[in-house]
Structure 1
Amino acid sequence: MGAGAEDPIPSSSPAFATPARPFRLPRGHAPPTKTSILPILLPPATLRPVAFRTFTRKHNLTISSSALQTLAVFIGKNCGSGWREEGLAEKALDEVAKIWKRAGGGVIVEEGKGASLKVILQTLESGMSGGRVVAGKGNSQDGPGRTSSLGVDAGRMDTSNDHSQGSLTMRAGDMDEDESKLSFHPRHWLKVVDAFDLPRLTYNVDKKYFEALKSKPTLFPPPSRKSALFRDRYNLVYQRLLRNESFQSSLGVAGMPSLQRSSSNLGMQQSYKLTPIANLLGRSGTSHLLLGLLSISPTGDLSLVDLTGTVALDLSHARMIPEDGAWFAPGMIVLVDGIYEEEEMVQGSLLGGNHGVGGAIGGHFVGVSICGPPCERRDISLGTGSRQASGDVSSSGGFGWVDFLGTGSERAQGARMRRLQEKCLRGVPESTESTARLKVAILNEVNLDNMKTLDALRKVFSTYNDLALSERPQTFILIGNFVQKAIINGGGRAGSIEYKEYFDSLAVVLSDFPALLQHSTFVFVPGDNDPWASSFSTGAATTIPRQPIPELFTSRIRRAFDTANSELDRSQTSEPAGDALWTSNPARLSWFGPVHDIAIFRDDISGRLRRTAINTRPDEDESNDAMQETLDEATNDAVSVAPELEQPSGTKSNGTSPAASMARKLVKTILDQGTMSPFPLQLRPVLWDHASAVQLYPLPTALVLADAEAAPFCMTYEGCHVMNPGRLLPQGDVQAVKWIEFDVLRNRGRVKEERY
């Protein structure tokens, strides 16, 4: 009875079917009050201002119309009539936005954009009471170190139809527990991405965002895909150009008639303004800045093309900016500053009958200066230039949510992968050899039909085989052409047998170094002379991207790796077995997801640029204008050349060696264009449905531009480290072998040379 007297709720008679000992509440807690919600029908247009304020202004997200409709139904059902007066809708939408970003969703809130909005709402609904999100009932909690039942990693999130059965089970607090089960060997996080496996992305001008192509790729697409190839390139360069500070107009600054820059840093910065070609009509004698594609008209004259029209181009008096610092060839997108001159007899001219949008306009455009579109750094493209205090990457102003390689976006996987990288390297001592196990040996033009090549490979492999395990490269990249001539073409069965024998001889050389096969990954990238593309190209430029070398010719090499791995007991180590991977050309290598992105492309691109580049006659009396100063300064600040290229002998007047000048010119041309193949399709054919595989946007962390006709170099431009291994056997030196050793963590390479 004493205990019953202390009860705040006394027992009732058994006739009322109440328990003798009722459920007690802790002292100081009042019984919970149940709040009922009367659902309402909330129109999406009424909810739009609150959703815009929460998603766009607060979280830098864009909400689609279908997602707004879904949220309107959710708010009307769970928040009722108090959605606006009591602020229930804004709090619920804020929670949805936080969960969406943690779940790896894209910058556009839409079903299937990296996360499932329906699953998020279903899980959040179970944790709401009275229109409010109740802590501890399945909802997330803000603040570092707190658990969140909705914090889903994008790489683990299931987007199938079984979301409601508990696919959202990964918690932020369980991250360390899950990562403890992973392998912390660096080579485990190496992924070779085939060009045909890359996400096929296109830039949507209306949404200002990248979206995946839903059509199935084919080798025989409709003709509209060809025009879409160049249109996508133009839109990509155009949006990149408008993000440049030189093309962003500020308040109080009027459009400038010509390219000028304030002489004082304290002065008002003046911006450049682009003019569509169609808007040149009726504006004869005025100066404009055009962005367009260099092309050859049916009459054989040089012309400039954009999305609005075509105009004849006169570059006889134009000067290149920077002077002799880049190539300009048909197929490239360029900036041309000049004066439009309309023909006197427009109606009687050849081009006078095809005016307006989409056609060639009369007259011609006299170029004063020509340059490539300014390059954009990787961190600016991804929006990772500024990080928050918590370490999260801001998604504003970039494409950090886009998964360009299929390994996870920077926003969804970047922080986690950097944490894994630190764990993988935690046991490595901090010394000059601390990154030795993250080095890559890059060998180009490995002609197996030359017996001296096998001797050179044996020298390179023996050099690394004599080193300690921690000092050997974890990856060897062997790049073709693996034969000097396209012997497969017209060779019939004998040609195939001969080609396979070359790889069999390489397998014999590799078998002499089992330690390298057991602890390294070998990546093989084909050239234009390798099968089967050479069967149809007769040694000329093949279509890109091109498939890997068929397994028919590589069986002996795979057998050599299997034999070497079988001799090593891996029960006591987490290191993955050595492997040989045959990939496409071009290809991508990814370390730790989006942290390290290495692009590889085999092409004699410098020779093609020299053959097709246009020549202009610079005006010797013209003074150095503002655009020349701006781009020269930007180039000098952005480019850093490896010491191997700075040779005192044979240098120019400015102290730069011819090899370094050629390297600067090649690197600036390719990276400014943002593509590995800035040529017309008749010079370098590109598969229309896989054109996004040759794009260089955003810039990779490193680019292997394997050009056998150019001297070896290592150079950094706008944060992208570009390397050219040159030839494995330099021409004119029969006793030397050259290759590049690339340090992944430091993002630096150096040319190595050995005598044998």
Structure 2
Amino acid sequence: MSKQIKQRVQTLFKLNGLQLSQEAAVYLTGLLAPVKDVERNGWIDKILSQVEKQKLKTAVIDIKIMEQAISECTAEEGGDENTDTFNIISGFEVPRYTFSAERKKYLKDDMMGRHKPLLLPPAAEKNNIYHDRFVMVSQRTARHDLFSGTGSTGSEKKYKLKPVEFLLGTTNRMDDIIVLGMLTQITYGSYYLEDPTGVVKLDLSKTKFHTGLFTENCFVLAEGWYDDEVFHVIALGFPPAEASSTTRGHFGSTNFFGGPAETTVKISEKLSLAEQNNTDAMFVFLSDVWLDEPEVQARLRKLFAGYSEMPPTAFIFFGNFLNNSSSGTVYNNSLKDHLKLLGEMISYHPSLAEQSQFLFVPGPSDPSSPNIFPRSPLPQHLTAELRNLVPTSRFLTNPARIQYCTQHIVLFREDIVTKMCRNAIYFPESGDIPTHFAQTIACQGHLAPLPLNTAPVYWDFDRSLYLYPLPDLVVIADKFEPFTAEHLECKVINPGSFQRQDYSFKTYIPSSRKVEDSQIPGEEDEEMG
């Protein structure tokens, strides 16, 4: 057994360009031997990461370097055990990792020589949005069974991806070609496929579209034949998504999601046990909570009264928070007053005000920063009175992230389903829209795979919209009808507009990973019941 562990350790270090001395290999093997198989790879990745952080003068790792790395790794692990079960990650604090083609792993941007994120970066940074997305999708696709030839069937490689420059470099007709690239519309009415090597014009007149919502600037796998400088596409699909567990199998314990933990909380036994034992934990999601509507106020009072005896872990309210079409000072003063009224309704139930978190994500019409993602939280001068009445209230960016025990939850308030349907180059003829949407964002690894003029993003903060590795739950607060969909164990839900959808909302129970549809009845409904 020790021999197998030693070979495994030496192989992993060699893959990262490092060589263990005999003494260091024996020392590390001895420490890893008592560790459970399921945890061993995570420890190796953490130790390897600590080794790489040291100033190495040679690729040979001796026992002194190994002892220091293990000491630092153990100290970090001790700190991680104190990780809170509930953490909120701002859209401006999402970690930035860049894929290193040489080392076949993701490294922090400072290790790749990239600058710290800026709201107004140099113009050249705009290209990095799509380049980084392409690299994320392409490295994932290249190791998929269909393209790597390393699947469980043991069959030889079935498909081979070709770059655009391969097409552009020939004058002969080529059949059975598959290209990974981004859909673009360089001239009106004409679509092209673009990758870092070039651009080729597409003929989509006889294309069969697979499941998904195909929009400009999304990444696709195009299959067809090339002739006369045109790529004739016979089938168009998305690059295959990857389950979160598969991603961790390749990149170890790297914390892509964010939060205080140095390594991903997915490998924490302490948090996993807390998650399973807390069967009463619950998240309540409501969208378009129009606080200026008297009927909304009445239903919220019923909601709070109903949950007062068993307070949920968190209530998450998505804007818009007013149905009033006014703007400026009048709108702001009205919002401030109605947020105070909401605080009074909550504080009437001390159990909720003390035990539940109240989270607020701004909507498109709410006062905040410009409508560019990620958006800043609601201004503090409008929320001060609510925060005084309810100290557990938090005002989030849009999008934002929640880490609850070992689970990752992404919150996004945008009519993104509606926008993607409106901007689709081909509208699906079969299947339901939620299924198409869930598969699209999972395969793209992004919340808004649309042109920047349709879904503006701060260039250096595009990572705030990444869905890679796939989270456990994505909450899309859209005016589209409520839905629950799932792709590769990633649940995608939409609570729908609160008042427009008969005061319905969604609840999520982390211990069982169940999503439930709920509704607040009115007086008429209660009388009929």
TM value normalised by structure 2: 0.85
Q: Which residue of 1 aligns with 2:393?
A: 580
Residues in 1 aligned to 2:521 and 2:142: alpha-carbon distance in whole angstroms: 50
C-alpha change, 1:500 and 1:225, in structure 2 (3 Å) is same
Residues in 2 aligned to 1:373 and 1:382: alpha-carbon distance in whole angstroms: 19
In the alignment, is residue 378 of structure 1 matched against residue 189 of structure 2?
A: no
Counterparts of 1:149-548 in structure 2, within 5 Å, are: 152-156=74-78, 189-214=85-110, 215-249=115-149, 268=155, 271-280=158-167, 281-282=169-170, 283-298=172-187, 300-321=189-210, 325-342=211-228, 363-383=229-249, 398-407=250-259, 413-415=265-267, 417-422=268-273, 435=279, 437-465=280-308, 467=309, 469=310, 472-484=311-323, 487-488=326-327, 491=328, 493-533=329-369, 536=370, 542-548=371-377
C-alpha change, 1:378 and 1:561, in structure 2 (3 Å) is same
CA contact (8 A) 2:256 2:264 kept: no
Equivalent in 105, 109, 112 of residue 53 of structure 2: 112
Displacement after TM superposition at 1:122 (Å):
6.7
Residues in 1 aligned to 2:324 and 2:191: alpha-carbon distance in whole angstroms: 35
Q: Percent identity?
A: 27
Displacement after TM superposition at 1:192 (Å):
0.9
Deviations 1:76-135 (A, max 9, x none): xxxxxxxxxxx54653575699999749736556443899x999827949xxxxxxxxxx
Counterparts of 1:607-646 in structure 2, within 5 Å, are: 607-615=418-426
SS at match of 1:498: helix
Counterparts of 1:710-721 in structure 2, within 5 Å, are: 710-721=480-491
Displacement after TM superposition at 1:447 (Å):
1.8
Residues in 2 aligned to 1:301 and 1:531: alpha-carbon distance in whole angstroms: 38
For structure 2, the 5+ residue unaligned runs are 34-39, 523-529
CA contact (8 A) 2:175 2:225 kept: yes
Residues in 2 aligned to 1:424 and 1:238: alpha-carbon distance in whole angstroms: 34
Q: Which residue of 2 aligns with 1:24?
A: none
SS at match of 1:614: strand
C-alpha change, 1:369 and 1:561, in structure 2 (3 Å) is same
Residues in 2 aligned to 1:424 and 1:559: alpha-carbon distance in whole angstroms: 30
Counterparts of 1:79-94 in structure 2, within 5 Å, are: 88=23, 90-92=25-27, 94=29
Structure scoring higher RCO (CA < 8 A, sep ≥ 6) equals 2
For structure 1, the 5+ residue unaligned runs are 1-52, 76-86, 126-138, 141-148, 158-174, 252-264, 343-362, 384-397, 429-434, 537-541, 563-578, 619-651
Q: Which residue of 1 aligns with 2:388?
A: 559
C-alpha change, 1:279 and 1:601, in structure 2 (3 Å) is same
C-alpha change, 1:413 and 1:711, in structure 2 (3 Å) is closer
Displacement after TM superposition at 1:450 (Å):
2.5
Residues in 1 aligned to 2:139 and 2:451: alpha-carbon distance in whole angstroms: 22
Residues in 2 aligned to 1:113 and 1:413: alpha-carbon distance in whole angstroms: 24
Deviations 1:381-424 (A, max 9, x none): 111xxxxxxxxxxxxxx112211133467967544x33344257
CA contact (8 A) 1:730 1:737 kept: yes
SS at match of 1:197: coil
Which residue identity lines up with residue 311 of structure 1 in the other structure?
A: V
Residues in 2 aligned to 1:446 and 1:554: alpha-carbon distance in whole angstroms: 15
Q: Which residue of 2 aligns with 1:664?
A: 435
CA contact (8 A) 2:362 2:368 kept: no
CA contact (8 A) 2:244 2:469 kept: yes
TM value normalised by structure 1: 0.61
Residues in 2 aligned to 1:335 and 1:615: alpha-carbon distance in whole angstroms: 15
SS at match of 1:374: coil
Displacement after TM superposition at 1:526 (Å):
1.1
SS at match of 2:484: strand
Residues in 2 aligned to 1:107 and 1:707: alpha-carbon distance in whole angstroms: 43
* Higher alpha-carbon Rg: 1
C-alpha change, 1:714 and 1:62, in structure 2 (3 Å) is farther
Residues in 2 aligned to 1:100 and 1:249: alpha-carbon distance in whole angstroms: 24
Aligned residue pair count: 503
C-alpha change, 1:307 and 1:151, in structure 2 (3 Å) is closer
**Larger helix percent:** 2
CA contact (8 A) 1:107 1:401 kept: no
Q: Which residue of 2 aligns with 1:254?
A: none
Displacement after TM superposition at 1:438 (Å):
1.1
Residues in 1 aligned to 2:482 and 2:305: alpha-carbon distance in whole angstroms: 22
Equivalent in 471, 477, 482 of residue 700 of structure 1: 471
Displacement after TM superposition at 1:720 (Å):
0.7
Equivalent in 399, 402, 416 of residue 605 of structure 1: 416
Displacement after TM superposition at 1:506 (Å):
1.6
CA contact (8 A) 1:200 1:692 kept: yes
Which residue identity lines up with residue 718 of structure 1 in the other structure?
A: L
Displacement after TM superposition at 1:581 (Å):
1.1
SS at match of 2:214: coil
Which residue identity lines up with residue 374 of structure 2 in the other structure?
A: P
Residues in 2 aligned to 1:151 and 1:683: alpha-carbon distance in whole angstroms: 44
Residues in 2 aligned to 1:224 and 1:202: alpha-carbon distance in whole angstroms: 17
C-alpha change, 1:405 and 1:707, in structure 2 (3 Å) is same
SS at match of 2:341: helix
Q: Which residue of 2 aligns with 1:8?
A: none
C-alpha change, 1:153 and 1:705, in structure 2 (3 Å) is farther
Q: Which residue of 1 aligns with 2:510?
A: 744
C-alpha change, 1:88 and 1:237, in structure 2 (3 Å) is closer
C-alpha change, 1:227 and 1:748, in structure 2 (3 Å) is same
Residues in 2 aligned to 1:329 and 1:370: alpha-carbon distance in whole angstroms: 12
Residues in 1 aligned to 2:410 and 2:445: alpha-carbon distance in whole angstroms: 12
C-alpha change, 1:327 and 1:531, in structure 2 (3 Å) is same
**Larger strand percent:** 2
Which residue identity lines up with residue 503 of structure 2 in the other structure?
A: V
